Amino acid sequence: MEPGERESAYELFRRGSRLLAEHHPGAAAVVLERAARLEPGKASILEALGRAYYNQGQLELAADRFRQIVDRDPVAHYSHFALGLAYRRLGETDAARRHLKLAVALRPQNEDYRRALGRLEAA
């Protein structure tokens, strides 16, 4: 990239996703926030950003990003799942249960969703 050229939201998303996959959630969050400013409300960017915040332990920020997705797309099963996990770690058990149940209802074949709900119910 030439000096002065700006990265597109897509390039930033790809770079942030790569950083996230390489277990660098802090760096990923910085890059993904830049992408989010260029493409506000873009679900793929919000999801990756939510994952980066969750992996850093910034649970309220993570929950906010996943909540933005489910507010726009109530059948976004992964976002319900991730929001449920964030709420559980925040100690908001009722909200966690509600979102995990929605994730399971939307994708009953997903073992991860069912296990997370089962662990919450058993606790």
The average confidence (pLDDT) of the chain is 95
Provide the total of helices (H) and of strands (E) in the chain, helices listed first. 7, 0
Q: Indicate whether 2 pLDDT > 50.
A: no
Q: Indicate whether 101 pLDDT > 60.
A: yes
Q: Indicate whether 1 pLDDT > 70.
A: no
Q: Which two tokens stand for residue 62?
A: 């993570």
Q: What is the mean pLDDT of residues 6-27?
A: 96
Domains (ranges, CATH) in the chain? 7-57 (no CATH), 74-123 (1.25.40.10)
Q: Which residue has the higher pLDDT, 49 or 6?
A: 49
Q: What is the pLDDT of residue 5?
A: 56
Would you say 45 and 36 are in contact if contact means Cβ atoms under 8 Å apart? yes
Residue with token string 């897509």: 10
Instruction: Give the three-state DSSP class for 76.
Output: coil
CB neighbours of residue 94 within 10 Å: 8
26-46: pLDDT as tens digits: 999 999 999 999 999 999 999
